Structure 1
């Protein structure tokens, strides 16, 4: 390739734009803000799902949750770069629908949580296996192609369903919602500690913590929202859903302005 050809290629705006589109990562930088919003979305998804199921016919609620998820993911896939409100809207809808998926298996089909949790774990393992076989990486900072984005969101959906089943299983085993919250708050520290001492790699530590955020946030939200007869604060599903949604929106607006979560 001649030097002149290289210079022309560098100066060609259409070539530079195509390169930028191809290399734009669709996942935010993993910072403290990422984990805070992630926990908030899990809790909001839990209470919003329960609120919809109590307000509407369960079948209609699941249909609306699925439609909302489809719209949110379509908008996310259409974007050519990371856009905070698009990304986190998709996460919220995954949380709502993932909760519904786990609840449908348990409530409507009668599948025990100690059965559905291993099923969802197997589904997540299958997604990871296919993702790694295809791309040779599970790193979220390399989500720059449509195929990797598809694998990423499939994994996210599986983690939410798995986390929902796991959190409900521990709560039903006698720990209660507050006890479950304490358990998962301790559990989420384990991947960070193992990463620090070199036992876990960055990718394994990330996905381990990502799974645990689901039952952590859901247990906290349930503890705040559900009736006192169930060992909770009885603040109500509506108020808890609204307050957590306001917190999410505030943080997303801040990140949209500050760009703190852009690599």
Structure 2
């Protein structure tokens, strides 16, 4: 997926929002959709899966305790994110990494602690995500990530991101574990699904905004399946690298890419009229 995939005529509708939602004279609060965006997104989803497992195993807080701790950290980072006036790569991607962990923990709590079937959690998260999109569109008249420049739109954006991670976790576990497809086969299937969405967008005219969000959801189980395949023991269908090695490796790559983007600003687009601000 590239920047063009997320571009949409709906951006032009932003001006039709009620006056009380008038956009602040700030730059977009999220990065441009480039190849770097998708690479870091998949890496964050992988870390979300392996780091959640690692914390649950090593922290000694239990699944509920880890969930509370990570939720508090996420809340702190989101406060910083909301208080910034422009996109900041370090803050933004830290929030994504943490929300990936929290989304995984929400799904795991429902399944492991409360015994809710994966079929149910997958369905419920899909419905909640759909409701977020409907309310978002009815209020703002656009779901484009090229106009995340008000507090309202940013709130809807992060709610959508949270539930894409929760949904992706549940759906990934449903395919890889409940349907007994295994980690590598699940990763392959989700990769093919993302490729099909890209083909449908570029050749069949599938809506750009819809294509983006479908791909965004699918990258979560893709990354989780990759993480599980690398981290889980060979006897469970993995390569046995462990959660520590896998998490550290992917975090190092994420850090390197975020530093690169912070320096080069390759994922920042200057808005029209910015020079006059």
TM-score by length of 2: 0.87
Partner of 2:73: 68
**Which structure is higher in helix share?**
1
Q: Secondary structure at the match of 1:188?
A: helix
Structure 1 gap ranges (5+): 1-18
Structure 2 gap ranges (5+): 1-21, 270-277
Q: CA deviation at 1:90?
A: 0.3
Q: How does 1:252-263 map to 2 (within 5 A)?
A: 252-263=258-269
Q: CA deviation at 1:58?
A: 1.9
Residue deviations 1:128-163 (CA, integer Å, cap 9, x gap): 000000000000000010000000000000000000
Residue deviations 1:63-84 (CA, integer Å, cap 9, x gap): 1111111011111101100000
Which residue of 74, 82, 85 maps to 1:77? 82
Partner of 1:124: 129
Q: Which one has a bigger Cα radius of gyration?
A: 1
Of residues 198-207 and 166-175 in structure 1, the stretch that sits farther from structure 2 once superposed is 198-207
Partner of 2:237: 231
TM-score by length of 1: 0.91
Q: Is the 8 A contact 2:46 2:226 kept in 1?
A: yes
Q: How many residue pairs get matched?
A: 245
Q: CA deviation at 1:23?
A: 3.4
Partner of 1:40: 43
Find out whether 1:97 has 2:102 as its counterpart: yes
Q: Is the 8 A contact 2:197 2:211 kept in 1?
A: yes
Distance in 2 (alpha carbons) for counterparts of 1:174 and 1:49: 22
Q: Which runs of 4+ in 1 moved over 4 A?
A: none
Q: CA deviation at 1:20?
A: 9.9
Distance in 1 (alpha carbons) for counterparts of 2:166 and 2:25: 31
Partner of 2:142: 137
Q: How does 1:102-181 map to 2 (within 5 A)?
A: 102-172=107-177, 173-181=179-187
